[in-house]
Structure 1
Amino acid sequence: MATNKVKQIHDFGQSIWLDFIDREIMTSGKLKKLIDEDGVRGVTSNPAIFEKAISSSSDYDADIAALAPQANTNEELFFSVAIKDIQTAADLFRGVFDEADGGDGYVSLEVSPFLALDTEGTTKQAEELWGKVGRENVMIKIPGTKPGLEAIRRSIAAGININVTLLFGLPRYEEVTEAYISGLEEALAAGKDIAKIASVASFFLSRIDVLVDPMLDEKGLADLKGEVAIASAKKAYEIYKRVFAGPRWQKLADAGAKPQRLLWASTSSKNPAFKDTKYVEALIGADTVDTVPLETIDAFRDHGIVANTLEQDTDKATQTLEKLKQAGIDIDKITQQLEDEGVDKFNKPFEKLLKAIEDQKNKS
C-alpha cells in the first residue's frame, strides 16, 4: 500500500495542522482518522471558521440555550461554546503532544478580532482564555499587529502558548520573533520553566498573491504570478534560521526553549489557474508547520508531490522580491494593506457570528 502523501510531509520535519474545527468532525471520528491516517498534528481555528460551524448546523443550539443565562454578552457566550470544542480537540491531540514532547499536538483559539489593535484588551483576554481552556496543548491566537506585539511578549512571559496570526510582511515577522524571544527572557528571569512555552508565527500566503498578481500583469511581470508569496515565505525562513541561532538564542535553548516555528497559513490556492496543492508543495521543510483546510488535505493526499522544497531556489526568491522593487511595487505597503484588511475580514464574520448567537437565543 502506498504511503499516505500527507503523512510523508512529516518525514521532512514539517507538521501538518488542520485549518478547521466543528463539532461534527470530532464526534464523527473524522478528526481522529485525520490524526491516525494522515498524520495531522494540530488544529487552527479563527472567527470565520467558528461562524461557519455555528451558523450552518444545529450542533450548538443546546449549548447556546443552556449557557445563555450565565453569559453577560454574546461574545462571552460564544467563547463558552467555542472553549468546549477547543478542549475536545485538545484532548484528541493529547497523544500527539505527549509523543512529540510538546513539539506538536496544539489546538489554537483566537482572541476576539475586535481586540486586534488593543494591547491591554488582548493581553487580558489571552490570559482569561488560557485559564478557561485549561489545556497545556492549546495556543491562544494573537494577531501580529503593531499593538499585538506587546501583548505577544507579555503573554509569552506569562507562560502562555501563542500562535501569532495575520503575518504578511518580513519586517513585522522579525518584530514578532523579537517579542517571542524577549518574552522568553522575561519568563526565564522570573524562574519559569520555558521548556513548556510554545509558539508559532503564522505567515499568510495566498492572499499576498491575490493582491500582487494583478499589479504584475500591469508591470509586464506576469511570469512572477503566484511566486511572490512563496518568495516571501522563503525569505522569512532565512530570518527564522538567523534569529534562532547565535549566543542570545543559545542561552534560552540551553534552558529548554523551543524555537518559534514558522507556520504557513492561507495555503489553499485562490487562483483556479494554479494547482490546488501549489502552496503546500512549495514550502515543505524542517521545523515548520503548514495549516491546511480539509479540501487541500484531500487534494494533497490524492495528487500532492512531496519533496524538501523550502530551501530550494532561495536565489530566485531574492530575485523575485528585487524585481518587484525595481518595478515600483512596494511589498511592505502591500503587506500592511493586507494586515489592515485581514483585521476587517475577521471582524465581519465575528459580527455575523454574534448575530447568529443572538438569533439562536431568541429562538430558545
Structure 2
Amino acid sequence: MAAENLVKKIHDFEQSIWLDFIDRKIMDTGDMQKLIDVDGVRGLTSNPAIFEKAISSGTDYDEDIKKLALEGKSNEDIFYGVAVADIQRAADLFLSVYDEEVRGADGYVSLEVSPFLARDTQGTIEQARVLWKAVDRRNVMIKIPGTAEGLAAIRQCISEGMNINVTLLFGLARYEAVAEAYISGLEDRVKAGHPIDSIASVASFFLSRIDVLVDPMLDEKGLGDQKGEVAIALAKQSYAIYKTVFGSDRFKKLEEQGAKPQRLLWASTSSKNPAFSDVKYVEALIGPKTVNTVPMETLEAFRDHGQPDSRLESNMEGVNQLLDKLAEVGIDLDAVSQQLEDEGIEKFNKPYEKLLEAIDKQKEKSLASA
C-alpha cells in the first residue's frame, strides 16, 4: 500500500495548504495539477518577487513581452499583461477545488497590486478594480497590503464584491483592524442591497521574519531559550482573536446572509534560521479553518518528514506568558510589526523595480529587432 501523503494529511485537520509559487513551467509540465491531485494543494499565492524570478530566469515570457511592447504598453502594463495570463490559467486549474461541495472554501489564486501603492489608498482601490476585472475569475483574490492606508481600500474592495487577500501582517493590533475592515465592507455591501455569499478573504500573517528580527533581542534580554517562539505565539494569539471576532453576534448576522469568516493564512513559513526545523512553522500552526501558503521547498520538506497534527491551540498558557514576558523586558511588538511592515514593503519594491528593469531590457530588444 502506498504511504500516506503527509501534505495531504494536513487537510484532515481542516487546514488548507496553498502553494506560494507560480511560473509557466509548473503549469506546462503538469506539475501544478499533480500538486493538486497528489499533495492536495488547495490554492496559490503570488507576489512581485515570485514573478520577478519567473520572468527573469528564462525565456518563457519573451514572446508575450515582445507582443505587448509592440502594442506600445508601459513596463508595468506589460508585467500585469503576462501576470494576469498566468493567474487566469492557474485559477482555471484550481477551479475544480473551488467548485467542491463547500463552494468557495478554497481554490483561490492571488495576484498582488503594485507594491508601489502600499501607502496609497485610492491608487490601491483603482488598481484592485482593474486587476479584478482583467483576471475575471470567481476564484481570484486580489492581494492588498494590510498597511494603515490599505485598511480603507480593503473595506471598499470587499464592499464592491471582490475577494481580497490581505498581505504583510505582522502584529495583533493591525490584524484586528483588518478583520474589522472586512466585516465593515460586508456590512456596507448588505446596506447597498448586494449579496455577500460569494465573497472570500484571507488575512496573511507573516511568521519567520518576526523571529529573524526578535530573536537577537531575546538573546540580549536573557531569553535566548525562547528563540523561534515569538512568531508562533503571535500567530496563536491572532487565532484566538479570529475566533472571538468571527464568533461574535455582529458577524453571525452576516453569516445568516451567507458571509464566510476571513480565514487566517500563515505566510513566510519557510525557516530562515538553519538551526530550526525546515517545517517548524508548518507543524506548529496546523489548525481548523486556516490556510498555510508554502514555497515549494517547504512543501517538499513536509512531504518528506512533516508530522501533521493539530497544534494551533496547544499551550496557550505558555503563549500568554511569553507575550507578557516580552512586554516586561521592554520588547515592543507594535514597534517590531511596524518595522517589519516598512521592511516588507521595501522587500517587495526591490524585486518589482528589478522586474520592471528586466521587462524594459526585453522590450528594447524586441523593438530593436521588430
TM-score range relative to shorter protein: over 0.9
Match of 2:172, as an amino acid?
L
Unaligned 5+ runs, structure 1: none
Q: CA deviation at 1:193?
A: 1.7
Partners of 1:224 and 1:323 in 2: CA distance = 11
Q: How do 1:41-190 and structure 2 match up within 5 A?
A: 41-99=42-100, 100-190=102-192
User: Is the aligned partner of 1:241 residue 2:234?
Assistant: no
Partners of 2:39 and 2:24 in 1: CA distance = 20
> For the structure 1 residues 339 and 61, does the alpha-carbon distance in structure 2 shift closer, same or farther, using more than 3 Å as the test?
same
Moved >2 Å (runs of 4+): 69-72
> For the structure 1 residues 167 and 71, does the alpha-carbon distance in structure 2 shift closer, same or farther, using more than 3 Å as the test?
farther
TM-score by length of 1: 0.99
Match of 1:347, as an amino acid?
N
Structure 2 counterpart of 1:326: 328
User: Is the 8 Å Cα contact of residues 64 and 361 (structure 1) preserved in structure 2?
Assistant: yes
Match of 2:219, as an amino acid?
D
SS of the aligned residue for 1:194 comes to: coil
Between the two proteins, the alignment pairs up a number of residues equal to: 364
Q: CA deviation at 1:71?
A: 4.6
User: Is the 8 Å Cα contact of residues 106 and 139 (structure 1) preserved in structure 2?
Assistant: yes
Instruction: Write out per-residue CA displacement over residues 54-108 of structure 1, whole angstroms, 9 at most, x where no aligned residue.
Output: 0001000000001113354201110011000000000000000000401100000
Q: CA deviation at 1:317?
A: 0.8
SS of the aligned residue for 1:315 comes to: helix
Instruction: Write out per-residue CA displacement over residues 261-294 of structure 1, whole angstroms, 9 at most, x where no aligned residue.
Output: 0000000000000000000000000000000000
Partners of 1:286 and 1:76 in 2: CA distance = 39
Unaligned 5+ runs, structure 2: none
Partners of 1:251 and 1:281 in 2: CA distance = 34
Structure 2 counterpart of 1:28: 29
Partners of 2:205 and 2:249 in 1: CA distance = 26
Partners of 2:300 and 2:92 in 1: CA distance = 24
Partners of 1:67 and 1:243 in 2: CA distance = 46
SS of the aligned residue for 2:99 comes to: helix
CA root-mean-square deviation: 0.7
User: Is the 8 Å Cα contact of residues 107 and 139 (structure 1) preserved in structure 2?
Assistant: yes
Instruction: Write out per-residue CA displacement over residues 1-37 of structure 1, whole angstroms, 9 at most, x where no aligned residue.
Output: 2210000000111000000000000011010000000
Aligned-residue sequence identity (percent) comes to 68
Partners of 1:192 and 1:35 in 2: CA distance = 33
Structure 2 counterpart of 1:197: 199
Q: CA deviation at 1:247?
A: 1.4
User: Is the 8 Å Cα contact of residues 142 and 162 (structure 1) preserved in structure 2?
Assistant: yes
Partners of 2:157 and 2:294 in 1: CA distance = 26
User: Is the 8 Å Cα contact of residues 230 and 282 (structure 1) preserved in structure 2?
Assistant: yes
Structure 1 counterpart of 2:309: 307
